[in-house]
């Protein structure tokens, strides 16, 4: 698995395979977990996740936290002083996972900027807002609201 960095409220925490293995976690539902660590009990609920932005919002004992996950690639790019988003060319928008299109927030011909919300995709009982990774123009929208999509399916074609 390697080492991940979790950024919680601006504080970086290193997470390793050993760290995860030391947690005693039981999933009581797809988005609820009971965790025991060092004799303390925690109730965690997944409130929202965005796989494109690598963020997840959880509630631990009623306190919400937004966590940004950086994998080894993200850490290397950061260490080299490069921007991961600057290195990405705006391309077609694809479904990051199978799910259901809840809403389409843009139209063909629309000029968009980085961060513009494009589509709301429901996957694993969570709503995920897919956002533009850069500036561009919507050439065509390849899906309709309420459509089921597969991972990697093209949702929006960019110019």
Q: Are residue 11 and residue 47 in the same domain, yes or no?
A: yes
User: Does residue 56 sit within a domain?
Assistant: yes
79 within domain boundaries: no
Range(s) of the domain holding residue 36? 4-74
Residue 139 counted as domain residue: yes
**Helix, strand, coil: what percent of the chain each, to 5?**
10, 50, 40
Provide the sign of the torsion angle of the four alpha carbons 16, 19, 22, 24, taken in this order.
Answer: negative
pLDDT of residue 14: 84
Number of domains in the chain: 2
**Listed residues 47, 74, 101: the one ending a domain:** 74
Show Cβ contacts of residue 76 under 8 Å, excluding neighbours closer than 6 positions: none
Q: Are residues 60 and 122 in the same domain?
A: no
| Domain termination residue (choose one: 74, 108, 133) | 74
- Round to whole Å and give the CA distance between 85 and 59: 28
Q: How many CA atoms lie within 13 A of 14 on its CB side?
A: 6
158: Cα separation from own chain's centroid:
21
Within a domain: residue 82?
Answer: no
| pLDDT at site 145 | 94
pLDDT of amino acid 117: 92
- Running DSSP on this structure, what letter comes out for residue 88? S
Q: Which residues contact 99 (CB under 8 A, 6 or more apart)?
A: 121, 122, 123, 124, 128, 148, 149
pLDDT score recorded for residue 15: 83
Q: Which of 45, 74, 103 is the last residue in one of the domains?
A: 74
Q: Is residue 84 part of a domain?
A: no
| Closest to 112 (Cα-Cα) out of 84, 96, 133, 128 | 133
Write down the pLDDT at residue 150: 93
C-alpha span between 10 and 149 (Å, rounded) = 34
Report yes or no on 23 lying in a domain: yes
Same domain, 70 and 101: no
53 plus 109 within the same structural domain: no
pLDDT per residue as tens, the chain (159 positions): 567 888 887 788 888 878 777 778 888 777 888 888 888 888 889 888 887 788 888 899 888 888 888 877 777 777 776 554 444 456 789 998 999 999 999 999 999 888 899 999 998 888 989 988 888 899 999 999 999 999 999 999 988
The pLDDT of residue 13? 85
Residue showing tokens 């799910």: 99
Predicted pLDDT of residue 125: 83
pLDDT score of 87: 41
């Amino acid at each position: 698995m390697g080492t991940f960095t979790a950024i919680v409220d601006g504080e970086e925490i290193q997470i390793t395979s050993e760290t995860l293995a030391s947690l005693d976690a039981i999933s009581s539902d797809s988005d609820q977990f009971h965790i025991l660590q060092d004799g303390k009990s925690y109730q965690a609920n997944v409130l929202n996740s965005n796989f494109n932005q690598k963020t997840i919002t959880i509630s631990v004992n009623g306190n919400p936290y937004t966590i940004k996950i950086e994998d080894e690639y993200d850490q290397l790019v950061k260490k080299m002083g490069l921007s991961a988003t600057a290195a990405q060319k705006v391309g077609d928008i694809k479904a990051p996972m199978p799910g259901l299109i809840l809403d389409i927030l843009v139209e063909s011909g629309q000029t968009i900027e980085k961060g513009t919300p494009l589509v709301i995709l429901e996957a694993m009982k969570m709503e995920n807002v897919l956002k533009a990774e850069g500036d561009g123009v919507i050439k065509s929208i390849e899906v309709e609201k309420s459509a089921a999509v597969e991972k990697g399916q093209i949702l929006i074609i960019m110019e």
